[in-house]
Amino acid sequence: MRTNKFYTLLALFVVIATVLSACGGGGGGASSDFDWSTATSAEDGGGMDALIAAAKAEGSVTTIALPHDWCNYGEVIETFKAKYGLSVNELNPDAGSADEIEAIKANKDNKGPQAPDVIDVGFSFGESSKAEALITPYKVATWDSIPADAKDADGYWYGDYYGVLAFLVNTDVQPDVPQDWADLLDPKYNGQIALSGDPRVSNQAIQSVYAAALANGGSLDDAQPGLDYFAQLNAAGNLIPLIANNGLVATGEIPVRITWDYNALAAIDTFEGNPNATVVVPATGRFAGVYVQAISAYAPQPAAARLWQEFLYSDEGQLLWMKGYCHPIREADLRARGVIPQELLDKLPDVSGAVFPSLAQLNTARELITTQWDSVVGADVQAAP
């Protein structure tokens, strides 16, 4: 009887174990062979623990166009690596938004290291990438606290942060600091001013032209005055046809860089007084530019791509961006819950009066600027040799 009872109990335990295994141990977890490229939320694959495990199995995530001094991405990347034990394959840190899109297109059938998993692009590039089926929907855990007008309703793209265009000035080379767009036309700035990208492909440069339009009789519905302004700047010899970066400002080769306020402020920290430099948010034409995140529809590491987004949109990730002088997209939620350290709040500049264009306005302006730059302005902006 003891033997029969033993085998009866053993059979019962086997049945229970089988049921629990089928239910994922009672946690609702997905199986280890779940296809994360289909997940529209972490819950689809069994929750955050399952996502982290799958991402660790992939081992890495591939990013593109993330300079370490842009929005504190250097610390963001290092924190992500330390937190999850993944490596980060960084492609072309100085690329523009259009370059990021082209990288997805060029590597659709390539699961190698040149295929980006995620992109960080200008606001208008989100919807066009969705239309071309280059990105895939995914909603992070903090989805509800992202403003509705800064995200695609289906989760294809979502705003990550914004800044306002400003002037970074090496005052050792140019002590007479411009305060507004009109000042840049002065002959004293001959051969001293540069954009931070090629306006034919770079979101930052495109929006610099757009901002100049606002300060020169244009509007959010009329970017043409921005092209006319840069034609004047070029004709005067003040515009240098090079893509500016902080290194060129530091050496004095480009004394005045037009860039996002967060890039300029980060540069001041990096310079540590050598050279002396300052940041000016222009008095007029205050233009706020939102960037967006998205996951490539062809991501070689789909779980790691989703984990990267979860990290960026967590409180930790958002505060790391703010540490780099960016306004994170969830800032209102962070402020409401009182989780932003006062020292971070004190670092952000006054950008009152900044305007936010709609997606339709951005698309119209981008089309005008990218197609008319050559004929109206005629400056062939190139990367520095």
Domain borders along the chain are 43-161+290-347, 162-288+351-376
CA gyration radius for the chain?
Answer: 24
How confident is residue 283, by pLDDT bands cut at 50, 70 and 90?
very high
pLDDT of residue 31: 54
Query: Cβ neighbours of residue 137 under 8 Å, at least 6 residues apart?
Result: 40, 152, 154, 155, 156
Segment 100-127 mean pLDDT:
95
User: How does pLDDT run across 285-331, given as a tens digit for each residue?
Assistant: 999 999 999 999 999 999 999 999 999 999 999 999 999 999 999 99
pLDDT of residue 51: 98
Contact 207, 198 (CB under 8 A): no
pLDDT of residue 352: 87
Three-state secondary structure of 216-281: CCCECCECHHHHHHHHHHHHCCCECCECCCHHHHHHCCCCEEEEEHHHHHHHHHHHCCCCCEEEEC
How confident is residue 24, by pLDDT bands cut at 50, 70 and 90?
very low
Q: Indicate the average pLDDT of the chain.
A: 92
Tell me the percentage of the chain whose pLDDT exceeds 70: 92
User: How does pLDDT run across 343-373, given as a tens digit for each residue?
Assistant: 999 888 888 899 989 989 999 999 999 999 9
pLDDT of residue 55: 98
Is 3.40.190.10 the CATH number for 43-161+290-347? yes
What is the model's pTM? Answer: 0.80
Most confident range (mean pLDDT) of 22-31, 212-221, 356-365 is: 212-221
User: How does pLDDT run across 40-92, given as a tens digit for each residue?
Assistant: 999 999 999 999 999 999 999 999 999 998 999 999 999 999 999 999 999 99
> What's the CA dihedral at 120, 121, 127, 130 to 10 degrees?
-50
Is 3.40.190.10 the CATH number for 162-288+351-376? yes
Residue 8 reports pLDDT greater than 70: no
Residue 185 reports pLDDT greater than 80: yes
pLDDT of residue 347: 86
